[in-house]
Structure 1
Amino acid sequence: MRNALIRYRVMAYVVGVMLIVLTCVGMPLKYIWHNDSVVTVAGIAHGWLYMLLIITAIDLGRRARWSWLRLLLIALAGTVPFVTFVAEHYANKDVQAKLAWNEAHPTEPEAVIADPQG
């Protein structure tokens, strides 16, 4: 689950930064100065990277056993500037808590395998 979390966090930051560039740099350039080059490049990049974010979020959500509602909210967070970072923070917090709990409470099959007398 740790590797899935790392992949998701990287994609969340990349998508969040691309969306900020698109909205805070590209849109003013397009609508004020009539230069749509940044919108074209950042828009296409954000679209493709957003699809990778969805894939990494589903992978992490499956491993962390998130509800479909939580996955939907995390997916939608990639479409609102700055909200991606908030969603990433809460996803990271949740997964870190689950990882800590799993380390403190080993599962039953592992305990049975580790006990030579059991």
Structure 2
Amino acid sequence: MAWIVGVLLVVLVLVGMPLKYFGDNDAVVVATGVPHGWLYMVLLITAYDLGRRVKWPWGRLILIALGGTVPFMSFVAEHYATKDVKTRLAAVETAQAQAPAPDVVPAPTTSADAPP
């Protein structure tokens, strides 16, 4: 989501806005502005969902959310978010691999289960 929102924002700001204000052509702004806005809302929802799952502090969530409003920042925010999530997943996998295997206790047999 961050890549799509970021690309739309860069096109909107670097291509669409100059064309609109210097060339009196708002076609690029209309074509990229509305999708960027809608997809930015989806980015906010998915970032919040991911943040709650990996227990990010609110400050990190706010920085990731702001990344979709500054050209090129969504790429940076996505890079660091991906790096953090991969680190957290590796730590969980390592902890699970080092955890001792649970003892398997056979179910007690009763006289009804015993062979004749």
- For residues 48 and 100 of structure 2, the distance between their equivalents in structure 1, rounded to whole angstroms, comes to 30
Q: How does 1:45-60 map to 2 (within 5 A)?
A: 45-60=35-50
- For residues 115 and 17 of structure 1, the distance between their equivalents in structure 2, rounded to whole angstroms, comes to 52
Match of 1:31 among 18, 21, 37: 21
Instruction: Kindly provide the amino acid, as one letter, of the partner of residue 94 in structure 1.
Output: D
* Count of aligned residue pairs for this structure pair: 104
Question: TM-score, length-normalised on structure 2?
Answer: 0.84
- For residues 19 and 36 of structure 1, the distance between their equivalents in structure 2, rounded to whole angstroms, comes to 15
Equivalent residue for 2:109?
Answer: none
Instruction: Kindly provide the amino acid, as one letter, of the partner of residue 62 in structure 2.
Output: L
Gapped regions of structure 2 (runs ≥ 5)? 106-116
Q: How does 1:101-112 map to 2 (within 5 A)?
A: 101-106=91-96
Equivalent residue for 1:99?
Answer: 89
- For residues 15 and 85 of structure 1, the distance between their equivalents in structure 2, rounded to whole angstroms, comes to 9
**4+ residue runs over 3 A deviation:** none
- For residues 104 and 116 of structure 1, the distance between their equivalents in structure 2, rounded to whole angstroms, comes to 22
The Cα of 1:115 is off from its aligned counterpart by: 3.3
Larger Cα-atom Rg? 2
Instruction: Kindly provide the amino acid, as one letter, of the partner of residue 21 in structure 1.
Output: V
Structure with greater proportional helix content? 1
Question: TM-score, length-normalised on structure 1?
Answer: 0.83
The Cα of 1:111 is off from its aligned counterpart by: 5.7
The Cα of 1:66 is off from its aligned counterpart by: 0.2
User: Is 1:116 matched with 2:107?
Assistant: no
Q: Secondary structure at the match of 1:105?
A: helix
More contact order relative to length (CA 8 Å, sep ≥ 6):
1
